[in-house]
Amino acid sequence: MSAHPHRRLPGVSGDSRPVLITGGAGFIGTNVAHRLLTAGQPVIVFDNLSRPGVEHNVEWLRDRHGPLVRMQVGDVRDRDALWRVVRQVRQVYHFAAQVAVTTSLDDPLHDFEVNARGTLNLLEAVRACERPPSVLFTSTNKVYGHLNDVPLRQNGTRYEPAGAAIRRDGIGETRCLEFHSPYGCSKGVAEQYVLDYSRTFGLPTVVFRMSCIYGPHQFGTEDQGWVAHFLIAALRNDPLTIYGDGLQVRDVLYVDDLVDAMLVAQERVDAIGGQAFNIGGGPGNTISLIELLDLIGELIGQRPLAHLQSWRTADQRYYVSDTRKFSATTGWRPRIGVRFGVAQLLDWLVANRVAAPLAAAGRVAS
């Protein structure tokens, strides 16, 4: 799904200034960087390297793109470091974040400092530039809260909305915000600053309220990146913990489709700036936790072991993105279906020995 070397891509212009990706050593950042670098666009990866496994992503980018990629170890809480790097670039993809609800519950102050204060630091650095770079910020579906007011019913191995409109289209951007959990609050505060800096200061910014993203270079854990986490546990024959009843549903979006959307958003930021868009796989790419276990069982020949525990704070029983606003504005639509995407991620995990024990034992079905 990658672009051909030095092929012109949406979001890649003749401007010779590099693109900045905060949190660029992470899963999404690595995929965006690779796409841009493949097209000949210099990239600055700004990351504090705190997440386990991301050093492998940096090595992979350097091996493939050499001096076109520049690694800068830094933290978004460091205003001076941000100011120095931001004035060099033409675009910013702002992914640096504390990403887990569970971690935010343990340390709300840290969560706020990284997500809210770090984003404000970035925006102030952008505002100080003579030629402000455009900013794409990744928010979360958690800004819509628990969604308790959406009536649900069970349909086999999943929940579905009782109302036909949400069942057909998903959750749209017109829904009222209701931040839930410290993580939901910090990301919600950050996105509102990103939107307001467009309104108040005229900065070219756009917000993606994202559902579940999955794909290569994702080192999933129980707290974040659940599709990859399920696959890794299955390959290692480790038991999984399901919080809730397993019927909860998400729309999942393969990372190549997300990168397509991000490049289009940057290319058209003058037209769509100051807006928030729900971005995910949409109603055509949904799966419940139980259904993912079943799919993994089909792919590897053995269904993962799992046991149930109580629901966690801020867990939504149903969230599916209504992506029609972004699709109507840009023409973007997801191209990669759930089964194919999960199989692609499985192949990557095996090929890169992310889950070596079971993969090496030859227990992966073709």
Catalytic residue set:
183
- How far apart, in whole angstroms, are the C-alpha atoms of residue 86 and residue 325? 30
Closest CA to 206 of 83, 332, 292: 332
Residue appearing with tokens 């978004």? 76
Q: Cα–Cα distances in Å, from 157 out to 124, 244, 248, 321?
A: 47, 13, 9, 20
Total number of residues shown for the chain: 366
- How far apart, in whole angstroms, are the C-alpha atoms of residue 155 and residue 134? 43
Q: What's the distance, CA 290 to chain centroid?
A: 22
Which residues, including other chains, have CB under 8 Å from residue 363's CB and lie 6 or more apart?
300, 301, 302
Which residues on adjacent β-strands are paired with residue 45? 21, 71
Which residues, including other chains, have CB under 8 Å from residue 256's CB and lie 6 or more apart?
1, 2, 31, 215, 335, 336
By CB neighbour count within 10 A (0-12 exposed, 13-18 middle, 19+ buried), where does 16 fall?
exposed
Torsion over CA of 35, 43, 75 and 352, rounded to 10 degrees? 40
Which residues, including other chains, have CB under 8 Å from residue 334's CB and lie 6 or more apart?
253, 254, 257, 281, 282, 284, 285, 323
- How far apart, in whole angstroms, are the C-alpha atoms of residue 131 and residue 203? 10
3-state SS assignment for residue 45: strand
CB 252 within 8 A of CB 210: no
- How far apart, in whole angstroms, are the C-alpha atoms of residue 119 and residue 128? 14
Closest CA to 74 of 135, 118, 130, 19: 118
